[in-house]
């Protein structure tokens, strides 16, 4: 895992633990655990997470991005953010 991806993952984990699970015990959340199946997030939680990702990482989350494969786990969100950052950097470089 790259240092950038590790930082993204840690930031997302911390946010979910503190703001959605109201815990500082990292052992209660595995990075690959389904947040939907565990009842940690619902549709409102996905929107809250999308706003957090936009603010924290300076990316744009479109309605088409609000899919379980992007928001179901810490790992899936970190991958989504990492891809979004890299695609925005590539797009800026192409201009």
Average pLDDT of adjacent 10-residue blocks, the chain of 95 residues: 93 96 92 95 93 97 94 97 85 64
DSSP 36: T
pLDDT value at residue 73: 97
Count of beta carbons in the 10 Å neighbourhood of residue 48 = 15
pLDDT of residue 89: 64
For the chain, list the domains and their CATH numbers: 3-94 (1.10.1200.10)
How confident is the model at residue 87, as a pLDDT?
A: 86
pLDDT at 47: 94
Task: State residue 40's pLDDT score.
Answer: 92
Task: Give the model's pLDDT for residue 7.
Answer: 97
Q: Are 35 and 48 in contact (CB under 8 A)?
A: no
């Amino acid at each position: 895992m790259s240092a950038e991806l590790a930082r993204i993952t840690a930031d997302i984990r911390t946010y979910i633990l503190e703001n959605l699970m109201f815990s500082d015990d990292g052992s209660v959340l595995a990075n690959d655990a389904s947040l939907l199946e565990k009842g940690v997030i619902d549709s409102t939680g996905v929107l809250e997470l999308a706003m957090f990702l936009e603010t924290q990482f300076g990316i744009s989350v479109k309605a088409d991005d609000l899919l379980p494969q992007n928001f179901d786990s810490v790992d899936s969100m970190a991958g989504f953010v990492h891809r979004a950052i890299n695609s925005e950097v590539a797009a800026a470089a192409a201009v």
